[in-house]
Structure 1
Amino acid sequence: MKLKPVVAMLAMSVVTSGAWADENSNFTLSGFGTAALTRSNSDDAEFARLGQLAGVKTSAKTGVDSNFGLQATYKANDWISLTAQGLVSKHITDEYGAELTWAFARFKASDKLNIRVGRMGLPVYMISDYLNVGYSNTFLRPPVEMYSQVNLQTVDGVDAIYQTDFGDTTLTSQFALGKSESKGTANSYTAKFSQVAGINLVLENGPFTVRFGHITTKFSVEDSASLNAVLGGLEKFGFTSAANDLRLKDNKASFTSLGLGVNWKNIIVQSEYGVRKSESRSLPDTTSWYTLLGYRYGAFTPYYVHSEVKQDTPRTMAGLPTTGPLAALTAGANNFASLTAVQSSNSIGLRWDFHKAAALKVQYDRLTPKDGAGTFVNPKPGFTGPVNVIAAGIDFVF
């Protein structure tokens, strides 16, 4: 097992946590990370998170659930500040790499309104602002069924955050505009998102949080060799309508989600429901949801999570030949029409807050793919599941 990256994360956190402790400085440095080991009980496919080229089988590895982040903020005055955040993780390739996840200037227009310009987290999910900060979440990892529906976490542009109170209730409204792009695994393609618009409404009252989110965009993928080969074959043999249905060129797409959080006495409930819509059959329509139930016993929090995702559009292309010399072309088209990783999972875990800024988590997942390999990568022929995955890790902040 390659533990060096995780050891380096922990060592860096110890060094930097004491380096910028001057409260009188306009510059602050903070960070977060997860040092984890993950393994499954199957060698027929690899368990991975969204965007990872490779995952784990029966040999435990650090790469799936480990990361390390640093965030620096400079406060120029009472109205202007600059923030940058970098993240080290395994993404796109099978090696640890760094990416700039946040880089924005914040302008305080009033006590209730803040405007940010630059690169910000896109309000896709209930925990988008702290998706990579494991310590902020009860579970060891967000449910892959829900959190693989939008391959877009940041936006380059502008957003406005307005917060107001109604008695004991606080409403936070966020509106974002911009553009973004993301790479496929091993840089196999580039997805470009234009005209990104998002709204995020959060109501908080005591232990209860209700959240509504909606994002829209136009997106294109023009450099996918595998998709272009299928489109070219369909057009060559006269299946122009099917090619147009699969094409990824300035297609409209949206994701709408509703979330609920309860943190009442010792009871923890967190649930999200999301619906994805797209004009292209290569990005199928989906419905996904999960529910987490937990209960605190002092420093210990056992929890249970159930999660599911289903595809709402057909997983095959109608009107294409299923036999004869063009059957392989039809199989290729159907592959893009069924890209949704249809799957359900049940997870149990335990969180132990053994330190004021660190928590040990152990989580067991039983994942059941349906009609394919689900969220698993590099499957062997005939792989079906279910698969058991177990992980243990330490989340920390400083």
Structure 2
Amino acid sequence: MKKRIIASALALSLAAPCAFAQDAVRISGFGTGALTWTNTDKAEFARPNQASGAKKDVTTGVDSNFGVQADYAVNSWLSVTGQGLVRKDAQDDFGAELAWAFAKAKVSDDVAIRVGRMGVPAFMISDYRNVGYANTMLRPPAEVYSQMLFNTVDGADVIWQHSYGDTTYTAQFAVGKSKVDIAGGPSLEGRRLTALNLVAEHGPLTVRFGRVDGRLTLNHSASLTTLLNTLNTVAAGYKLPQAAQLATDIDVRDKKASFTSLGATLDWNNIVMQSEYAKRKTDSYINDTTSWYVMGGYRISKFLPYYSHAKLSIDGNVHNGMPAACPAGYPAACTPTLAALNGVVANLRYTGVSQGEQQTDTIGLRWDFRSSVALKVQFDRVRPNKAAGLLINAQPGYKGPVTVGAVALDFVF
């Protein structure tokens, strides 16, 4: 309810000047109405950080959203932007959120400074990842886009943009903090965040490099808290320093983390291509990962058929481990206790914050049948490589594969 009130208040405050200076205010918006389904009831397919997803019965919750944006020009060098977004989130309902809320000062023809809430420039399509009409595919590949859960940064950034010949260069540097609620109850905080975004555009080709660094803290995770308490109890009771060290290693409290990505897009004649490669690293149990996708399509009149392949792999995590058995003379309960704890810790590799491995093959068709409106049909073949991959609410032992179907109507206004 608080999020809805904030978003509504923002919309009203930004829309109010329309009565006095309509030519200074620009109202725009976007949305997607979608139906999504799968071929199984043994697991659910969802976008990153959704509490529930699609099964055999058709659902509107996975891929549908609606957003409204207001841009108010105070004068020739100062403007204010606000964007409210409604979508299915970690609370398992259509909640409203304040996606953007910043003031922008144009320092010169090449430099601008923004203060407030902006999108984290972590991906190729960070600024318009929720605008379905602006993207070829029906949804960004989860293999890459689930690896950075922060959508916004509260702070400031500076943007420099200049053209040399036929090439336009953009550099963006942001600092601030972020917080996101995670499905199931926990929340993830990012402090001392810094983000660098470098873009070069030359005709139909765009190349981008991004880097996000910060300190992570995971709050209100009951399972992790129970495990840490147990490890510390074992360390004290059985005098095993390995257990205490392991508790320190896997805890997510003010731990260093980074996300590095490289991407490119090409829209040349009728050929459309897009690809991203990303690496995530943390000093906690949250796994280090490598993820990537490549998409290609060919435009035929108003139709654009496309294919993509995406993959997410686990590189490793912090896990010093403990001995499988206690030294002679320890209580008999010590050895089975250690074995059970090692099993629980190993299980963390495939649970929690986007931990699974998987790959997906996607085929789809986009039809721009009217101005500012596009119809998309997409089928995904999701193949978890370990456990249930990124599928959620999976039955014990279920490993897929899963076929996902979706039909969406994207629009902007």
- Output the TM-score relative to the length of structure 1: 0.92
1:318 corresponds, among 321, 324, 329, to 321
Q: Tell me if structure 1 keeps the 8 A contact 2:31–2:65.
A: yes
Q: Which has the larger radius of gyration?
A: 2
Aligned partner of residue 45 in structure 1, secondary structure: coil
Deviation of the 1:332 alpha carbon = 2.4
Is 1:287 the counterpart of 2:290? The answer is yes
Asked if 1:213 corresponds to 2:210, the answer is: yes
Tell me the amino acid that sits aligned with residue 322 of structure 2: G
1:103-161: CA deviations, max 9, x gaps? 00000101111110000001000000001000000000000111100110100000011
Q: Which amino acid aligns with 1:240?
A: A
| AA in 1 matched with 2:220 | D
CA distance in 1, matches of 2:207, 2:21: 34
Which AA in structure 1 matches 2:210? Answer: G
Q: Tell me the equivalent position of 1:93.
A: 91
Contact 1:317 1:334 in 2 (8 A): no
> Which residue number in structure 2 is paired with residue 48 of structure 1?
46
CA distance in structure 1 between the partners assigned to 2:387 and 2:99 by the alignment: 32
CA distance in 1, matches of 2:319, 2:212: 27
Alignment-derived partner of residue 374 in structure 1:
389
1:276 matched to 2:280: yes
Does the CA contact (< 8 Å) of 1:270 and 1:291 recur in 2? yes
Kindly provide the amino acid, as one letter, of the partner of residue 111 in structure 2.
L
Instruction: Give the 5 Å matches for 1:105-116.
Output: 105-116=103-114
Shift in CA distance, 314/73, structure 1 to aligned 2, threshold 3 Å: closer
How many residue pairs align between the two structures? 377
SS in 2 for 1:257: strand
AA matched with 1:389: V
What is the match of residue 190 of structure 2?
A: 193
Following superposition, the deviation at residue 335 of structure 1 comes to 2.4
> Residues of 2 paired with 1:233 and 1:395: CA distance?
49
Given that residues 246 and 336 in structure 1 are in contact (C-alpha distance below 8 angstroms), is that contact kept between their aligned partners in structure 2? no
Unaligned runs of 5+ in 1: 1-19
Of 351, 366, 378, the match for 2:366? 351
AA in 1 matched with 2:375: L
Q: Does 1:298 align with 2:310?
A: no
**C-alpha separation between the residues in 1 aligned to 2:19 and 2:297?**
34
Q: 2:199 aligns with which of 193, 199, 202?
A: 202
The SS at the match of 1:312 is strand
Q: Which whole-Å deviations, capped at 9, do the CAs of 1:258-284 have from their partners, x for residues lacking one?
A: 00111100000100000011111x211
Letter in 2 for 1:154: T
- 1:306-325, CA deviations, whole angstroms, 9 ceiling, x for partnerless residues? 00000000597633549724
Q: Tell me, in whole angstroms, the C-alpha distance in 2 between the residues paired with 1:165 and 1:184.
A: 41
Aligned pairs for 1:153-232 within 5 A: 153-186=151-184, 188-232=185-229
Match of 1:361 in 2: 376
Does the alignment pair 1:149 with 2:147? yes
Instruction: Tell me if 1:388 matches 2:385.
Output: no
Whole-angstrom CA distance in 1 between matches of 2:21 and 2:78: 18
Distance 2:117 2:177 in 1: 10
Contact 1:315/1:337 (<8 A) preserved: no
Structure 1 vs Structure 2 CA RMSD: 1.8
Q: TM-score, normalised by structure 2?
A: 0.88
Which runs of 5 or more residues in structure 2 are unaligned?
1-17, 236-242, 326-334
Structure 2 partner of 1:248: 252
More helix as a share of residues: 2
Mapped to 2, the partners of 1:184 and 1:283 lie a distance apart of 14
SS of 2:75's equivalent in the other structure is coil
Counterparts of 1:352 and 1:320, CA distance in 2: 59
Alpha-carbon distance in structure 1 between the residues aligned to 2:182 and 2:323: 28
Q: Aligned with 1:370: secondary structure? A: strand
